């Protein structure tokens, strides 16, 4: 799981972009801790043809799932 | 939360909030100007923090001293709405002292141009062509700043902090604001831009709404151009454009529009320094992760790194005015402006190198 907690914009979406470019994963899970990152990653994922969902975990962080 | 709907309806569904925020900010700038704020400066984060620095006597430039309620309102609005929406998260520890000094240089650059990115947009909407030169510099600065980001630049992670850490800046601002209402406690301009202001109650209420909308929409002047350059994501740019449209229309209906370089309110025509000042602002803002407006909103959300950046802005304003670096309508300051701008560029370059972990 890609952990982008504590990173300010645009680092979270940049980390996802790097991962997508390098490995073209069918699914990718990202752990984020603010909604701005969730929204930015969602817009980026959608633009790359991914279906994006997120849920809040017990720690109050967000698990974002990108899938083809 | 996907939205792949095509056409204009889909566009609006994806971007309505950031467009609404831009329109409200533009309208707020026009209304606050009509109610007394300086022309083409209805809402300027750099100018207003500079005025606050003056009111607290961190500098003694008599024409720019007033405790601007708008700054307090933006932070409060962002704090209240983020608490309601459960997005208020005290966080900090991401290179705080680095951020403080970047904030200082961003403010110094902004006061060479005479405005933050938000005022730059408001000035464009008011017909001030010098602001287009500033915009060019801002874009160049952002593009420069995206290079270290692409190569792995980071100010490192922030971590969860205590509630007190997230509440300190908003609380201090509220206390200072209340104290500012006591006559003659703080310095207050009797002439010049600092003497021109809307009634405090209107100013703070409007700013609370703006702060809340900015928190929800994540509007950021630097982020808009950065995301367009790096990700071809134009979402935030629509807010940027909406501000210009609202201000243009507002000005048409109020004091009229005049497109020119010369004789614009609180602006100078030195193109080189307008450009260089905003290069520093753009570059610094990208490294910070957001423009001065966004830093206020993040501080409201409990981010103590952004709170320290805001203090860096205020310190930068004091340095600017104490050492003749700030411009005025007459032109650039009498101090060593070019050398300090160069020092700012060198500082950002060194930071960019030291904080970049080259990736394979």
Is the confidence metric ipTM above 0.90 for this complex? yes
- Chain B residues touching residue A11 (CB < 8 angstroms): 149, 154, 289
Q: One digit per residue, pLDDT tens: chain B, 360 residues?
A: 455 677 889 999 999 999 999 999 999 999 999 999 998 888 899 999 999 999 999 999 999 999 999 999 999 999 999 999 999 999 999 999 999 999 999 999 999 999 999 999 999 999 999 999 999 999 999 999 999 999 999 999 999 999 999 999 999 999 999 999 999 999 999 999 999 999 999 999 999 999 999 999 999 999 999 999 999 999 999 999 999 999 999 999 887 788 999 999 999 999 999 999 999 999 999 999 999 999 999 999 999 999 999 999 999 999 999 999 999 999 999 999 999 999 999 999 999 999 998 654
Going from N- to C-terminal start, the domains of chain A cover: 2-67
Q: What angle do CA B232, B141, B122 make, to 5 degrees?
A: 85
- Chain B residues touching residue A13 (CB < 8 angstroms): 231
Going from N- to C-terminal start, the domains of chain B cover: 15-354
B97 touches chain A (CB under 8 A): no
Contact across the interface for B1 and A6, Cβ inside 8 Å = no
Contact across the interface for B87 and A11, Cβ inside 8 Å = no
Only one residue has tokens 């994806």, namely B14
For A2-67, give the CATH class. alpha beta
- Chain A residues touching residue B87 (CB < 8 angstroms): 34-35
Integer Cα distance of B216 and B89 in angstroms: 14
The token pair that represents A18 in the structure block:
């790097």
Contact across the interface for A10 and B4, Cβ inside 8 Å = no
Chain A contacts in chain B segment 260-319 (CB below 8 A): 288-290, 305
């Amino acid at each position: 799981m890609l952990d982008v907690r504590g990173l300010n914009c645009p680092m979270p979406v940049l980390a996802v972009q790097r991962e997508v470019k390098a490995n073209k994963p069918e699914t990718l899970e990202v752990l984020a801790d603010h909604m701005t990152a969730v929204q930015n990653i969602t817009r980026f994922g959608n633009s790359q043809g991914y279906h994006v969902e997120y849920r809040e975990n017990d720690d109050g962080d967000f698990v974002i799932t990108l899938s083809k | 939360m996907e939205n792949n709907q095509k056409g204009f309806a889909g566009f609006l569904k994806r971007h309505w909030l950031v467009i609404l925020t831009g329109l409200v900010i533009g309208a707020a700038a026009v209304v606050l100007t009509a109610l007394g704020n300086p022309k083409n400066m209805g809402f300027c984060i750099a100018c207003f923090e500079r005025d606050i620095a003056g009111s607290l006597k961190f500098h003694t430039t008599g024409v720019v001293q007033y405790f601007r309620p708008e700054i307090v309102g933006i932070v409060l609005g962002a704090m209240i709405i983020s608490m309601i929406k459960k997005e208020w998260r005290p966080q900090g520890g991401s290179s705080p002292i680095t951020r403080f000094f970047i904030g200082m240089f961003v403010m110094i650059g902004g006061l060479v141009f005479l405005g933050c990115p938000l005022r730059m947009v408001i000035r464009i909407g008011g017909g001030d062509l010098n602001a287009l030169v500033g915009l060019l510099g801002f874009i160049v600065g952002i593009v420069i700043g995206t290079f270290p980001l692409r190569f792995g630049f980071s100010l490192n992670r922030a971590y969860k902090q205590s509630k007190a850490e997230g509440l300190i800046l908003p609380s201090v601002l509220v206390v200072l604001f209340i104290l500012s209402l006591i006559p003659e406690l703080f310095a207050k301009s009797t002439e010049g831009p600092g003497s021109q202001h809307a009634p405090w109650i209107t100013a703070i209420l409007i700013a609370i709404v703006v702060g809340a909308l900015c928190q929800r929409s994540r509007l950021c002047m630097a982020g808009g151009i950065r995301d367009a350059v790096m990700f071809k994501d134009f979402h935030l740019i629509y807010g940027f454009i909406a501000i210009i449209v609202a201000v243009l229309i507002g000005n048409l209906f109020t004091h009229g529009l005049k497109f020119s370089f010369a004789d614009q309110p609180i602006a100078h025509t030195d193109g080189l320094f307008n450009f260089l000042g905003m290069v520093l602002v753009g570059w610094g803002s990208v490294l910070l992760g957001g423009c001065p407006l966004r830093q206020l909103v993040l501080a409201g959300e409990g981010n103590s790194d952004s709170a320290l950046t805001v203090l860096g802005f205020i310190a930068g304003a004091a340095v600017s005015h104490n050492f003749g670096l700030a411009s005025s309508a007459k032109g650039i300051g009498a101090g060593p402006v070019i050398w300090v701008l160069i020092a700012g560029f060198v500082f950002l370059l060194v930071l960019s190198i030291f904080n970049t972990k080259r990736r394979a």
